[in-house]
Amino acid sequence: MLRDIITYPHKILKEKSKEITLFDNELHTLLDDMYETMMHKSGIGLAAIQIAVPLNTLIINLPNKDDKQEKEDLVEVINPTILEMDGSTLYTEGCLSVPEYYEDVQRAERIKVSYFDRHGNEIITEYDGLMAIAFQHECDHLKGELFIEKLSYLKRKKFEKEWKKKIKGKK
């Protein structure tokens, strides 16, 4: 089922998500809905809080080398922990909760993470490239943080001005 994506500055996006303890049908439905909603909006990542569900889960589905988003590449992440971070990289990020806004963000280049899959199996692995960037971006959502909070003071000010204008124009 398609769900509505919450956009900035809705205050629910600031909420801290809670640990998942049951790997049941309800969780599977949530994950399926997140996938459908993300694909509908042409996103590559989505955290549950973005559809107003404050639970520690996120999904990432990067395009492959043919630039196709295949479901077999979908990664479902439950209760993630970033165990190690290394290096530094700059990437122009976007977010379905901050539509049509893109800005450079600095993040760790490589990460070691642990999480659970939808059946409760623990996975420990390492990521680099866009996967590492997306993972960090989505984990921030679970802490109630958005990528715009990583901008410099001036860039953030400019963003807020433009965003207010944009919201006003839509009303």
Q: Give contact residues for Co ion (rule: CB under 5 A).
A: 95
State in angstroms the smallest separation of the CB of 168 from Co ion: 23
State in angstroms the smallest separation of the CB of 74 from Co ion: 17
The answer to whether 111 touches 105, Cβ cutoff 8 Å, is no
Q: Which is nearer to Co ion, 119 or 143 (CB)?
A: 143
Whole-angstrom distance between the N-terminal and C-terminal Cα of the chain? 27
Q: Which is nearer to Co ion, 116 or 147 (CB)?
A: 147
**Which tokens belong to 36?**
């459908």
Q: Which is nearer to Co ion, 96 or 171 (CB)?
A: 96
Q: Out of 76, 93, 103, 138, which one is annotated catalytic?
A: 138
State in angstroms the smallest separation of the CB of 137 from Co ion: 6
Assess whether 76 carries a catalytic annotation: no
**Alpha-carbon distance 63 to 131, whole Å?**
10
**Which tokens belong to 13?**
């996006």
Q: Rounding to the nearest 10 degrees, give the CA dihedral for residues 70, 71, 74, 76.
A: 170
Closest residue to Co ion, Cβ-based? 95
Q: Which residues pair with 107 in a beta bridge?
A: 89
Residues classed as catalytic: 138
